[in-house]
Every structure is written in structure tokens, then in C-alpha cells.
Amino acid sequence: MALNSVLRIASKSVVPLAIRAAGSPRCFHGAVPAVLLTVEKHRIGRQISPRNFVPCPSSAAYSSQTSDANLVRVLESEIDCADKPEHDNNFPARFPFEINDNLGERTVTLSRRFQDEIIKVEVDMPNVDDEEDEDDDENDEDDDEAAGGDNLPLVVKITKGSGEYLEFGITAFADEITIDSLSVKNPNNADDQLAYEGPNFEDLDDNLQKAFYKYLDARGINPHTTNVLFEYMTNKDSREYLQWLQNLKNFVEK
């Protein structure tokens, strides 16, 4: 049925041409094969038109393989150029804490017993100040007012038998520690309960501030300990970054 419809439509325009080409109506039957050939060519031409062309899927697969291989090469180059830990971390013989360090985690946990207390310290990655000063005079004035440079954030929790614990927020600098916050917390209180956490530490009386620094020093939280931790966490940062790059490379290569 479809072919008959095509022949009927084509005959209206092609048959008169075929008759004129044949010279007379008696030659019409000889011109019919030419008409059919013309119609067939027209049908085939429509089937292979550019609008119906579908790209070969192998070209997309080749592009994907090429981009994956390029990414692997860049990752390998970054692994080769990345900073490597200078040496294994060897803690001093009298280092007062046990350390729990899990590969893939950004923090490490220190713990120790001191008399009837349990002390835990969570140490985060160091904050490295690598920005250049744009205005030396202005920054010199700022340095007089506040400490700057590389630092190490810590959270110290001191627990006694009742379950309540004293929590310090601390920032450690080279040969110096600063107490940022101080509060007594009860793990049994609801999380949404608003508790008074005391004034800002720097607003306390100077003698009280000094007493708290001595309190922490007696429990091993002092510049000697934090300087060791700073070196350890710097090496951990390098190890974690290298492992992260290796994990990416292994995934892309699968």
C-alpha cells in the first residue's frame, strides 16, 4: 500500500517527464522502469539523510578512555611531586599521652589517666598561614595586638567520676598555647538545652587565667606537648593527602 501511494504521488510529476523523454505515448511502458528507479533512489536517499545519521558509539568510548588515561597521568605526577613525610613520628620517651590515629581521618585523639581523671585531647589538622602580607606597616600593628602564624587547634576534655567534664578550646602556636574557651559540660543534658558557658576567657582576672594555664600544664597540656603534636600533624597531613590521591587514582583505573 505504501509503495502504491508513493507511485501515485511520483507519477504526477515524473510520468509526464518520462513521456516527453520517450517521445510518444507508445513509449510510455518503456519509461516506467526509469520512473520506478527514480522513486527508489528518492526513498533510499531519505533513509540515509544526515538527519537520520547516528554517530558510532565507539568514538565516545575512545574519548572516555583517553580522558581517563590523561587523569591517571596527572594524578601520578601529583603523587610524585607531593610533599612526603620527612620521617616516621617518634614520640619522646616521656610523652604523656597515648595516641589513636586512624588513616583517612583528619583528627587524632590523645588519652591518658591523671590521678582520678581521664583526659582526652582531640587534635585537628594544623592551620598553616602561607599568605603574604600586602601592607607591612599595617600588619606590624596587628601583630602587636594578636598572635598569628601557624597554629594547631585542640579540644581538651577532663572527666571525673560523675560524668561531668571540663572542656577547653585551645590554639597552640610555636612554644605557646592560648585558651580560647572554657566550660563545664554534662553529657546527660539535652542537646537543645541552653547552658551558660561563662564569660570569654580573656575577660577573666589575670590571676585566674594564669591558674588555668598551670592547671593544664600539670596534666601535660603545654608547649612541649603541642610542639610534638604540631610536627606529627604536619606529617599526617602529608600522609593523608598522598593516600587521597592514591585512592582517586585507584578508582579511575578500575
Given a contact cutoff of 8 angstroms between Cβ atoms, the answer to whether 119 and 219 are in contact is yes
Q: How far apart are CA 169 and CA 155, in angstroms?
A: 5
For residue 146, the model assigns a pLDDT of: 46
Neighbouring C-alpha atoms within 13 Å toward the C-beta of 37: 6
pTM for this structure? 0.66
Kindly tell me if the per-residue pLDDT of 4 is higher than 70.
Answer: no
pLDDT at 156: 98
Per-residue pLDDT averaged across 96-112, rounded? 93
Which pLDDT tens digit goes with each residue over 205-253? 999 999 999 999 999 999 999 999 999 999 999 889 999 999 999 999 9
Residue 5 has pLDDT above 70, yes or no: no
Set out the domains of the chain in order of their start, with CATH numbers.
Answer: 2-81 (no CATH), 98-248 (3.10.280.10)
CB atoms within 10 A of CB 156: 23
Instruction: Give the 3-state secondary structure of residue 110.
Output: strand
pLDDT over 90 at 190, yes or no = no
- Confidence category of residue 108, pLDDT binned at 50, 70, 90: very high
Model confidence over 163-187: pLDDT tens digits?
Answer: 889 999 999 999 999 999 999 988 7
Q: What is the mean pLDDT of the chain?
A: 77
By the 8 A CB rule, do 35 and 20 touch? no
Cell of 80: 610524585
Helix or strand or coil: residue 229? helix
Q: Pairing state of beta strands 117-123 and 98-100?
A: unpaired
User: Which residue's C-alpha cell is 577573666?
Assistant: 204
Q: Distance (Å, rounded) from C-alpha 36 to C-alpha 223?
A: 98
Asked whether the beta carbons of 27 and 15 are under 8 A apart, the reply is no
Neighbours of 65 (CB within 10 A): 10
Straight-line distance from the first to the last Cα atom of the chain, in angstroms, rounded to the nearest whole number? 54
- Beta-carbon contacts of residue 187 (< 8 Å; ≥ 6 apart): 163, 164, 165
Predicted pLDDT at 83? 76
User: Does residue 112 carry a pLDDT above 50?
Assistant: yes
Looking at the predicted structure, is the pLDDT value of residue 195 above 50? yes
What integer pLDDT is reported at residue 188 of this predicted model?
75
- For residue 219, give the nearest of 177, 174, 189 by alpha carbon: 177
User: Average pLDDT of 95-117?
Assistant: 93
Alpha helices per DSSP H over the chain: 2-22, 28-47, 57-81, 136-145, 206-218, 223-253
Q: Match 596587628 to its residue by C-alpha cell.
A: 142
- Grid cell, residue 224, equals 612541649
Residue 91 confidence (pLDDT): 77
